[in-house]
Amino acid sequence: MNKYEEMKIEAIEKVIEVLEGGYNGYTCDLHNECFNTDYYIIGTYKAKQALEEFGVFEAIEKVSEYEKDMFGEVTTDLHDPEKLVNMLFYIIGEEVIAEVDSSTYNERYNCIIDYEDREAIIKDFKEVI
């Protein structure tokens, strides 16, 4: 398994972890809660290792293209391994959420997640692993 596939599985596990932890915000804010409120990797050494496994230039390209498309410019410090790998995980998290075919997630996108929603979305994400 390559690092990209590994990070996709970790992203799915992160979504499941947040939901099982009782997340009760809006469905549309789930990505932010999972991938923008905590760090994927802390520490330059660990970040460099992850980027080497992923491919440093591939990571730079993925983050650069994403940010240019979304913000019109690159805002992540591409020279900082921690910032680069954490932004990469943020992007992969967005991709994973978009790829998982969860009717509950899609239908309840602008709603507050309740217990039934959480359980249905968790089930959908667990089926992907």
Per-residue pLDDT reduced to its tens digit, 11-35: 999 999 999 999 999 999 999 999 9
Please name the residue that has the structure tokens 């590994």. Answer: 6
pTM for the full model? 0.95
Total tally of structural domains belonging to the chain: 1
8 A C-beta contact, residue 40 and residue 86: yes
Closest CA to 12 of 74, 82, 101, 113: 101
Mean pLDDT of 93-116: 94
For residue 87, pLDDT beyond 90 = yes
Q: Which domain range does residue 15 map to?
A: 3-126
pLDDT at 100: 93
Contacts of 50 (CB under 8 A, 6+ apart): 3, 41, 85
For residue 129, pLDDT beyond 90 = no
pLDDT at 108: 93
8 A C-beta contact, residue 74 and residue 67: yes
For residue 1, pLDDT beyond 90 = no
pLDDT tens for 44-64 read 999 999 999 999 999 999 999
For residue 84, pLDDT beyond 90 = yes
Q: Is 13 exposed, middle or buried (0-12, 13-18, 19+ CB in 10 A)?
A: middle
pLDDT at 62: 98
For residue 101, pLDDT beyond 90 = no
SS3 24: coil
- Residue count of the chain: 129
